[in-house]
Amino acid sequence: MTSHVLSVRRAPQWRRRLLVGLAVALVAALTPAGALPSAHAAPVLLSQGRPATASSTENAGTPASAAVDGNTGTRWSSAFADPQWLQVDLGALATLTQVTLVWEGAYARAFQLQTSDDGSTWTTIHSTTTGTGGTQTIGVTGAGRYVRMYGTARGTGYGYSLWEFQVYGETGGGTPTCGSANTAQGKPATASSTESAALSASAAVDGSTATRWASAASDPQWLRVDLGSTQSICRVVLNWEAAYARAFQIQTSADGATWTTIYSTTTGAGGTQTLDVTGSGRYVRVHGTARGTAYGYSLWEFQVNTTGGTTDPGVPPTDPRNPNFGPNTFVFDPSTPTATIQSRLNTLFTQQETNQFGPQRYAVLFKPGSYTADVNLGFFTQVAGLGMSPDDVNLNGHVRVEAFWMGGNATQNFWRSAENLSVTLPAGVTVERWAVSQAAPYRRMHLRGAQNQIQLWNGGDGWSSGGLLADTRIDGLVVSGSQQQWYSRNSEFGNGWTGSVWNMVFQGVVGAPAPHFPNPSHTVIPQTPVVREKPFLYIDGTGEYRVFVPALRANTTGTSWYNKTPAGSSISLSQFFVVQPGTSAATINAALAQGRHLLFTPGVHHVTEPIQVNRADTVILGLGLATIQADNGAVAMRVADVDGVKVAGIMFEAGTTNSPVLMEVGPSGSSASHAANPISLHDVFFRIGGPHVGRATNTLTVNSDNVIGDHMWLWRADHAAAGVPTGWTLNTADTGLTVNGDDVTMYGLFVEHYQRYQTVWNGNGGRTYFYQNEMPYDPPNQAAWMNGSTRGYAAYKVGDGVTSHQAWGTGSYCYFNVNPAVVAERAFEVPNNPNVRFTNLVTVSLGGVGTINRVINNSGGTANAATQQVYLTNYP
């Protein structure tokens, strides 16, 4: 977690640290000795907000929908007769685990719970003739898209009446079939030989028919792919180049050593061969024993289809004019009464003001038009406009973040966002507050009025610590106050910027202050070399929802939209699969295999296998900081080494079982150039620990070349807050970001509290613009935190073999509060090479608690209790 201190008025000596002794004492008092908070995953509620129908209704005030609206103050009730039923359409095939019936006084004495795939033919999964009413929680085993309560005998003289009908489980499942997804695409591939470096094994599994693997001109030769786990293999497709195999076998293996042949031929004719096979294994290979030409073996593509024990589940279509964004998305239009809008906003803020570790997620969306609203954002809440331009939606009032809940200290104001809106402050008001720290982007916004100012802290005492302004127009002044570090990119400040603490970076900003590091600590980069703005949801003039994907831009200043037409492309929401919580990874992957993009609705989405993104130009967009949690040690998402994938507005979270990595961009060994169409990550956040114990060895690994990171926070929970399990041996995580690809660029990179290197950069040509880091708070002693004979691990390690790398505006802080005697030998560790250059570095010992001995390698002073901030302008 970022740091928290009690502040001293107008004395910016500490970064931020709220004393947590009281919270620790309370937790200790309420928790039995040796006990840890429960970390069991709750069943997923599938029925809330879904279409519901009934055999009858008592009156218009008791419709079927009232039983699935999440409100125990509304109900469905039937006519006074038997039988009667209430059914809900889950939208997709689901595996069911539990049904909860919250009866009003008019209950069912005899009823069945039934499922159906088509709403016509029903299967009973529970039956009773001794119902007692009240709240009944019933464990069930069954599957279906439709679920109903079928009442055959009433318990009273009235009809049947339910406050709530709740169905729990996981969508996806069915009869195993041979899937259409190419399981081999993007997976690690090796070969017996390669004709040249340009014809590598990975080229046969990259999804491109313009690249190929070719072997040496001799027999035998083989190409194999590692599927990552044992799979049921049902089909192999070989797309041969002219140099084909006349005789070959398809073989499988559990360990890559012992092979079983599942197909064999001596009469291969080349071309594209689609082979139906039956077998299983983690490894699959084509083993050529006789060439069809004098050349080697050459494959454009090697495709493997599997059943995986499941089917390609039914993927429902998306209505682009009336999409189901789930119960936690609220869409307003100008005809919505102001009081209705404000009541909803107030209710959300009251619930979310302090709710930093709850599962609730919300999105509040405004259709084009003008509104009067005071939007005070709490945790895990997104507010966004649905126009093509921020100026298409104007809020007369505020879009703000305050820190009242912490007495003005904003150092825990994380995980929220404002996007694609313009704001006109009320008459006589000239201050908008955006008092935030990490993972709280203010993106594609317009604060109107040259007389106004936006304050990046609470405006009085207290602290805030790190944030982002991107693609934003501020007509007036930006005041940073006691904001301790900040990154502004491609924005416009009409009346400039004032203020500085430790690390303020401006890139491509019109109205940026003059560069004058370290006093004040302003790092100014005139242009942004290559960037794509974040994709966003909007509604067009016909009422159709679409997603706009901004174009790649080079050497830019200012916004992409103010007084100009944004460049890019537009995709109908009909091309997206709208993912609800409870949807299985199998269903998600089936949608991806069909060529669909993904829109994740607000909530926590549990996966037990990777979401595999194999198709170029796929868009994955989250609403309301939608969170993907990796359960049972899974990798949450893998992106193949293909062009133009965009992942935006998604948070990844570790489960209680250790994952090797939470997200992987490109398989190991990726080598394709994506310079013309990079993969990009926008507002992508990672959390290990917090609501429960979390574990992941690595967090984000980037193997592909030319990837763009546009604002990311990678965070391990390592210090106490009320109810949060923390500890050196609880939330375990070695490394935050690992970059193995070449020419990777990171804008606004925040990485904190990992137990070894925070960031490891092994690729050449890397660039980082703004880096914010805190070392782990909780090493129990120096012996527990040693890198061989070196004290501690650097916050940013550039690999010893790297020959070119640049970074601007980098900061690293220590706060070793468990044992202040702990020392980090250095914050940045890089090879000594004139093409590895760092500009404007800072290290801080927060409150003098702990020591960073050197800034970079053996250069720079010591940050400790005597000298708490140390600056270095250049290395080498």
Active site residues: 774
Rounded (to 5) percent helix, strand, coil in the chain? 5, 45, 50
- Segment holding 22, helix H or strand E: helix 21-30
Helix, strand, or coil (residue 78): coil
* Terminal Cα distance for the chain, rounded: 32
For residue 206, the Cα-to-chain-centroid distance in whole angstroms is 24
CA-angle at 485, arms to 483 and 489, nearest 5°:
110
Q: How far is CA 622 from the centre of its chain?
A: 8
Rounded to whole angstroms, the Cα distance separating 266 from 716 reads 55
Determine the distance from the C-alpha atom of residue 125 to the mean position of all C-alpha atoms in its chain, rounded to a whole number. Answer: 36
Alpha helices in 293-352 (DSSP H): 338-352
Q: Cβ neighbours of residue 532 under 8 Å, at least 6 residues apart? A: 549, 550, 551, 552, 553, 646, 678, 680, 708, 710
Contact 575, 315 (CB under 8 A): no
CA atoms within 13 A on the CB side of 858: 2
Q: Within 13 Å of residue 837, how many CA atoms lie on the same side as its CB?
A: 8
**Is residue 592 within a helix (H) or strand (E), and if so which, with residue range?**
helix 585-593
Pairwise CA distance, residues 240 & 202, whole Å: 15
Q: String of b and e for 57-94 (b: at least 16 CB within 10 Å)? A: bbeeebbbbbbbbeeeeebbbbeeeebbbbbbbbbbbb
Structure tokens at 493: 């400040």
User: Residue 338 has which token pair?
Assistant: 């102001």
Tokens of 340: 């209705």
Strand, coil or helix: 189: strand
- Residue found under tokens 């679409």: 546
Tokens 């009469």 sit at which residue?
Answer: 267
What distance in Å separates the CA atoms of residue 512 and residue 298, rounded to the nearest whole number?
Answer: 54
Which residue do the tokens 């469905």 mark? 76
Strands 84-103 and 135-154: antiparallel
Please answer whether residues 671 and 709 qualify as being in contact, where contact means their C-beta atoms are separated by less than 8 angstroms: no
Q: Distance between CA 585 and CA 576 in Å, rounded?
A: 15
Distance between CA atoms of residues 348 and 346, nearest Å: 5
Phi and psi, residue 352, nearest 5°: -105, -5
Give yes or no for a contact between 182 and 614, defined as CB atoms under 8 angstroms apart.
Answer: yes
Q: Give the integer Cα–Cα distance in Å for 438 and 756.
A: 21
Please return the burial class of 740, using the count of CB atoms within 10 Å of its CB with bins 0-12, 13-18 and 19+: buried
What whole-number distance in Å separates Cα of residue 678 and Cα of residue 587? 27
Alpha-carbon dihedral sign for residues 53, 55, 61, 66 = negative
Phi, psi of 312 (to 5 degrees): -75, 100
How many CB atoms lie under 10 A from the CB of residue 260? Answer: 13
What residue has token string 């060439």? 291
- Residue 347, class by beta-carbon neighbours within 10 Å (0-12 exposed, 13-18 middle, 19+ buried)? exposed
